[in-house]
Structure 1
Amino acid sequence: MRLATMLLATLLPLAASPALAQSLEQMAGQMIVVGFVGNGVDDKGVAALRAEIAAGDIGGVMYLKTNVASRKAVEAMNTAFREAAPAGLPPFITLDQEGGLVERLDSAAGFKEIPDAASVAAKNTPAEARGIYDGQAQGVAAWGFNVNFAPVVDLSVNPNNQVIAKYGRAFGKDGKLVAEYAAEVIAAHHAAGLLTSLKHFPGHGSSTADSHEGFVDITKTWKDSELEPYRELISGGYDDMVMIGHLIDTNVDPSGMPSSLSKPWIEDVLRGKLGFKGVVITDDLEMGAIRDHFSLKETVLNAVRAGVDVLLFSNTAYQRATLGDEVRAILLAEAEADPAFKARIEESFARIVALKSRIGAENVQPQ
């Protein structure tokens, strides 16, 4: 009961979408978040992104460590990104700042680091952890970001896991307790005006391989208990973002599609069974699990048809300034040929705009 009450208290009601007469081109653009080359406001790659944001051609940007030279440089870039955006469509300015080894802002750049999730849980109750994440969230917001791809709600059920357990990214192996810690992370970020993303749906903790490198088949290892944090948080009112991993479970999707491209996982399980109403975002679509097996066109079309709202590209493997244009062209060509695909773009746009209306708002309601 405490979890549901706390989450509901920290969430603003979904605002009605702004009355913006958007073209289909701009609707499709809002579904694209890309990484970039550069670490200063005057860099060519940054200038190109500003122009794309101004035109509504992309919906947001993703930072990696290579983009972080100093706080001053990051703040200047993020200010430029925000100022370039059309009215009512602030860009998602995103990063992975979990704590521990998975972070883009570190002490070398002047950011106060925090321990990884496993260390936080080992030494603090969920309530005690709140202060740690308040500090983290306030710092992330102060540097000009508005989306942190956190918290991790994977369960640490495989001690030999190469992606989660190895780096201490999970709060534990009990779903309800993981949800308690995650709720504190979410509340801290909402209080700082930040959006969050649960990851990596449907659960990377039992896997025996790394989706950065190639296909990850969890058919024999995954258990329904790995959905428990999602059940707890979504039933408590969570509706920011859920990040979909690139995980294969032929018990759920006999086609063998990775979860990020799988309608059974996204529409049937996440939206249908769990009732998630927020924005679905992919994990980086340039990981080996996707890039090595699907063309860019196949990736984009399968993801959107599966129910994805935001397509995330780190722009490291493809690494070209035209990537956003290429993705948008694929979306528009398919929308022109298929009315059902066009309707999917419009549906995603409505969810994205509703979520963007909450950027910068302090989501703590008066007591």
Structure 2
Amino acid sequence: MSSKSEMISRLIGKMTLEQKVGQCFVIGFTGTMITPVILERIKRYCPAGIRCGLTFRIKTAYYDPYATSPEFAHRVIRYPVGTVKDFVPGLPVPECTNEEYCAFLNTMKKASLNNDLGIPLHITMDMEGDASADYPRDGIRFFPSCGGIGRTGDTKLAHDVAWAVARELTSLGVSWLHSPVIDVNTEPMNPEIGIRSYSEKTSEVVKFVSAALKGFKEGGIVATGKHYPGRGASSQDAHHGLPVIKLSRRKMMEDHIRPYAEMIEKGVPLPCIMTAHTAYPEIDPSGLPASLSKVFITDILKNDLGFKGTVTTDDITMGGIAAKFEIVEACLRSLNAGNDLILLREESPLIDEVIPGLVKAVKKGQLKESRLDEAITRTLSVKYDYGFFKNGGIRDVKKAGDGIRDPKVINIARSAAKKVQVILRDKQKLLPVSRSKKILLIEQINPLHRLVNTQECHPSLLWENMLKYSDNVINVETSMDYNEDDVKRIKRRLGEAELIVATNYYFRRSADGGDFIQRLHKMTRKPIIVVANTHYPQALSKEFKTVILTYGSSPECYAEAAKAIFNKQVRALACTMY
């Protein structure tokens, strides 16, 4: 028996049943204030990890609060009791420095190390690119979406961006990443994946994800490929319901499971895989989502494909699960199906209900203790291989910002923004725009910019960059969906301009303004340049005659967009797909 096996066996032998169940969970925590509750949960339950975030406060985020029939809401809503935070959801969390956040994470890690097991706690986040950023603070660099990187044809760029993300996060003390997206986006109208995917082609996804995974590994962070067995063919968002993909087993294996199979076979560093809350009835006739399906997780992924790493669910409170199952039943089914970790992002008393519920399930014979042991062994093995046990993941607070300030990271951010920028079409020959021309810029308030709102990254960021080239730019800020108040304000300024530049960004849970831009064109007949972040039809009508694609929300991407408007020093890319 190896030293790793001996250590893991010894630790499992010391665990109580409650701790074994706890080791199968990653629980959510938002903000920067250590509370007695989070420290008590770490001490009592010994969770494997914490999913942290410094974006908006998370509360019942993954069921649709605006649904006409939110019949499943009761399955994920638990009202605070005791000293659990009873906060207003949707507000940004407080500002903090990199050093302050690193110290905050160290406090939680020490709480885990100081219990009777001393197992290192892993800290996980999501940083997919574009507006997906769980740590939008203190100078961190944002990178373009995977879809933009994939369209460059440059796999080295995918590697370098992944390394840069890992360099930034590991210096803070983040050790695990719920990225990259391995989905092959074969459905153009997919509301959830889109440019989160590297490509619509399986072979391209394999190349780019393989490069990214190597970059994450070299950067020292545990990467998680998602969403197995593939959500690219869906036309529904799993956050708010249970999508059903009716592809045959052969088609799923050829197009969507193939990236996993190839990377496992070739030994690409893929330590963790996240399962999809999506049903595939042609493969598992039970109708269960893959995340609760033994067919997909144990039979295909672990046995047929030979995956030896850790398997985690996506957030167990998402609509795709909550619509069908009570929370304890969902967690029980997920472990019996073969998941090794359960992600519970909801910051509420749910964890205090789920862990006792699963302990009871073991005692009743509904869940084998040996299944828990196997799950824990896989996760601890990953932690051992990535050096978690050397110092428990404790970071030097004084060096917390080193990765963010690293000149190499900064240069990669600039290079990536430049390489992904595309003039998709310019049928009216509007580019480059004369600096003397009077321009009306209609700029949506990007969700990332609203959240960060610093001098470097803020609403009106495109305007700021355009003013570097011309003083003749009028700016009207708008909501994402161009509401009636926005329309009134735009109409008031139309007469002042010869040309319009309008943004049309697409983000999940945000409406796009494509219909309004088409109406605007008919209303004014003035030429319009559209600046968008995706080549997919949700935000990109064929009626738009001049289009610039940024593929990102970073200051670097917006600087390149302004350059494209006035200088046209950007690659052109004909798009005939959509």
Question: Structure 1 length normalisation: TM-score?
Answer: 0.86
* Residues 248, 256 of structure 1: 8 Å contact kept: yes
Correspondence for 2:448: none
Q: Secondary structure at the match of 1:211?
A: coil
1:41-88: per-residue Cα shift (whole Å, max 9, x none)?
A: 44x2xx422332233432211123236633344212211121111355
For 1:233, the equivalent position in structure 2 comes to 263
Residue 357 (1) aligns with residue 384 (2): yes
SS of the counterpart of 2:123? strand
Aligned partner letter, 2:219:
A
Of structures 1 and 2, the larger Rg is shown by 2
SS in 2 for 1:135: helix
Which residue in the other structure is 2:452 paired with?
none
- The letter of the residue matching 1:302 is R
Corresponding position of 2:139: 110
Q: How many residues align?
A: 339
- C-alpha distance 347-230 of structure 1, shift in aligned 2 (>3 A): same
Cα shift at 1:359: 3.7
Secondary structure of the structure 1 residue equivalent to 2:27: strand
Instruction: Tell me, in whole angstroms, the C-alpha distance in 1 between the residues paired with 2:367 and 2:350.
Output: 24
What is the Cα deviation at residue 347 of structure 1? 1.2
Counterpart position of 1:40:
32
- Where does the alignment leave 5 or more consecutive residues of structure 2 unmatched? 58-92, 389-578
For residues 91 and 359 of structure 1, the distance between their equivalents in structure 2, rounded to whole angstroms, comes to: 13
For 1:270-329, what per-residue CA distance to the aligned partner results, in whole angstroms no more than 9, with x for missing partners?
1122111111100011111111221012101111111111111111xxx42x32232211
- 8 Å Cα contact 1:28-1:349 kept in structure 2: no
In the aligned structure 1, how far is the partner of 2:118 from the partner of 2:211? 29
Rounded to whole Å, the distance in 2 between the matches of 1:324 and 1:109 is: 31
Post-superposition shift, 1:230? 0.2
The one-letter amino acid of 2:260's match is Y
> Which 10-residue stretch deviates more, 51-60 or 240-249?
51-60
AA aligned opposite 2:162: Y
Please state whether the residue corresponding to 1:216 is helix, strand or coil: coil
- Identity %, equivalent residues: 28
Distance in 2 (alpha carbons) for counterparts of 1:295 and 1:84: 31
**Residues 292 and 153 from structure 1, CA distance in 2 versus in 1: closer, same or farther, beyond 3 angstroms?**
same
TM-fit CA distance, 1:336? 1.1
Select which of 317, 323, 344 maps to 2:371. Answer: 344
Asked whether the 8 Å contact 2:46–2:112 carries over to 1, the reply is no
Q: Describe the SS at the equivalent of 1:248.
A: coil
Query: Does 2:299 match 1:299?
Result: no
Q: Verify: 1:97 aligned to 2:127, yes or no.
A: yes
Which one scores higher on RCO, CA 8 angstroms, separation ≥ 6?
A: 1
TM-score normalised per structure 2? 0.56
Q: Using the alignment, how far apart are the partners of 1:295 and 1:323 within structure 2?
A: 11
Aligned to 1:314: 345
Alpha-carbon displacement from aligned partner over 1:13-61 (angstroms, at most 9, x marks no partner): 9943433222222111110111124x2244x2xx422332233432211
Question: Is 1:141 paired with 2:170?
Answer: yes
- The residue that corresponds to 1:28 in the other structure is 21
Unaligned runs of 5+ in 1: 1-12, 362-367
Which whole-Å CA distance do the structure 2 matches of 1:184 and 1:14 have between them?
31
Residues 239 and 276, structure 1, Cα contact 8 Å, conserved in 2: no
Matches of 1:139 and 1:15, distance apart in 2 = 29
Q: Is the 8 A contact 2:223 2:270 kept in 1?
A: no
Residues 277-292 of structure 1 correspond to what in structure 2 (within 5 A)?
277-292=308-323
Instruction: Write the deviation string for residues 180-237 of structure 1: whole angstroms up to 9, x where unpaired.
Output: 2112222222222210111001101110101011010001486321111101111122
Counterpart check, 1:123 vs 2:158: no
1:66 lines up with 2:56 in the alignment: yes
Measured at CA, do residues 175 and 14 of structure 1 come closer, stay the same or move farther in structure 2, by a change above 3 Å? Answer: farther
Give the Cα–Cα distance (whole angstroms) in 2 for the partners of residues 121 and 293 of structure 1: 35
1:75-128 per-residue CA deviation (whole Å, 9 max, x = no partner) reads 12211121111355111211111111222123x542111100011122251123
Distance 1:54 1:32 in 2: 14
SS in 1 for 2:56: helix
Q: Residues of 1 paired with 2:193 and 2:366: CA distance?
A: 40
C-alpha spacing 1:340/1:246, structure 2 compared with 1 (3 Å): closer
| Counterpart AA for 2:303 | G
1:50 matches 2:80: no
Q: Secondary structure at the match of 1:61?
A: strand
SS of equivalent residue, structure 2 residue 368: helix
For residues 76-91 of structure 1, the aligned pairs below 5 Å read 76-86=103-113, 89-91=119-121
CA distance in 2, matches of 1:88, 1:348: 18
Q: Do the aligned residues in 2 keep the contact of 1:53 with 1:59 (CA within 8 Å)?
A: no
Aligned equivalents of 2:272 and 2:213: distance in 1? 11
| Aligned partners of 2:125 and 2:134 also within 8 Å | yes
**Which letter maps to 2:19?**
Q
Cα distance, 1:63–1:14 mapped onto 2, change above 3 Å: farther
8 Å CA contact retained: 2:26, 2:342: yes
304-313 vs 236-245, greater mean Cα deviation: 236-245
Matched residues in 1 for 2:143 and 2:156: separation? 16
Q: d(CA) in 1 for partners of 2:4 and 2:225?
A: 21
Q: Does the residue aligned with 1:305 lie in a helix, a strand or coil? A: helix
- Residue-by-residue CA offset, 1:137-196 (whole Å, 9 max, x unaligned): 10011121000111111002111111111xx11111222321221122222222222101
Q: Which residue of 1 aligns with 2:362?
A: 335
Give 1:188's aligned residue: 215
Q: Which 10-residue stretch deviates more, 151-160 or 352-361?
A: 352-361
Letter in 2 for 1:298: E
Pick closer, same or farther for the CA change 1:345–1:217 going to 2, 3 Å.
same
Whole-Å separation in 2 of the counterparts to 1:124 and 1:41? 43
RMSD: 2.2
1:249 and 1:105 mapped to 2: Cα distance? 34
Task: Give, in whole Å, the separation in 2 of the partners of 1:102 and 1:297.
Answer: 29
Aligned counterparts of 1:66 and 1:360: Cα–Cα separation in 2:
31
Distance 1:144 1:275 in 2: 31
Maintained 8 Å contact 1:57/1:324:
no
What amino acid is the match of 2:216?
Answer: H
1:251 and 1:220 map into 2 onto residues whose CA distance is: 6
> Taking structure 1 as reference, are residues 15 and 97 closer, same or farther at Cα in structure 2, changes over 3 Å only?
farther
